[in-house]
Amino acid sequence: ALLELGGKNAIIVLDDADLDHAVDAAAFGVYMNAGQICMSGDRVLVHESLAEEFGRRFADKVRALPAGDPSRPETVIGPLVSADAARRVAGLVADAVAKGATVLAGGGEPDGAVHPATVLTDVPKHARLYYGEAFGPVCVVGAFATDDEAVALANDTEHGLTAGIITENGTHGLRVASRLRTGIVHVNDQSVGDEPQAPFGGAGSSGYGRFGGRWGLEAFSNTRWITLATEQAHYPF
């Protein structure tokens, strides 16, 4: 058996990132399927040199995302699985705000099962959203000063499924990726990605085992060694 149990995934925007790409990638990684993906980006960590500008552009983009009827082709933020799920997400947001978080976009009450696309910052550690998986159209934006700090923030979770690293320097991205405790990292992309031939799975509370490709076959089979000698062997005694 193997288990994939969700994530508290980070999208890291390094100081050498293209800001336009970073905003678009993070918006997709957070809000695709209204955040109801185990790989969704719950946290967007941005280098302090880009944080202010990123926050402004990202909040503007999020506020403009069309929400509501999922049958309309232009809708980005459709309903959660139920009205109860939307109320659960709203409770996480309200708890964070009551404990000192700032709303950059969205917030407020859901409309039935549709929760507004929401961006928060300054979420304290004692808020339930800090460590809890949102599984809805909500993310927390934070800043970091160094790669070491970015890695420490990204790894500050019991989960370890996936991560995205936005950078224009692949070598820089790979150095950071090697230090993340996740089963999956996408360099110069956001956190959502799956392919049938790729090993999919995480670490820690994100589960164990891998499915996809030969890794999935190995997870559900027993490896054996069988030989056939084409000539009779000679033995020392």
Residue among 4, 109, 158, 218 flagged as catalytic: 4
User: Using the 8-state DSSP alphabet, how is residue 157 labeled?
Assistant: S
How many distinct helices (H) and strands (E) make up the chain? 7, 9
Sheet with 118-121, edge to edge strand ranges: 102-105, 118-121, 138-144, 41-47, 9-13, 163-166, 186-187
Is residue 38 annotated as part of the catalytic site, yes or no?
yes
Question: Radius of gyration over alpha carbons of the chain, in Å?
Answer: 21
Helix/strand/coil for 144: strand
Is residue 195 annotated as part of the catalytic site, yes or no?
no
Cβ-based neighbours of 113, under 8 Å, separated by 6 or more = 79, 80, 81, 82, 83, 85, 86
Residues with active-site annotation: 4, 38
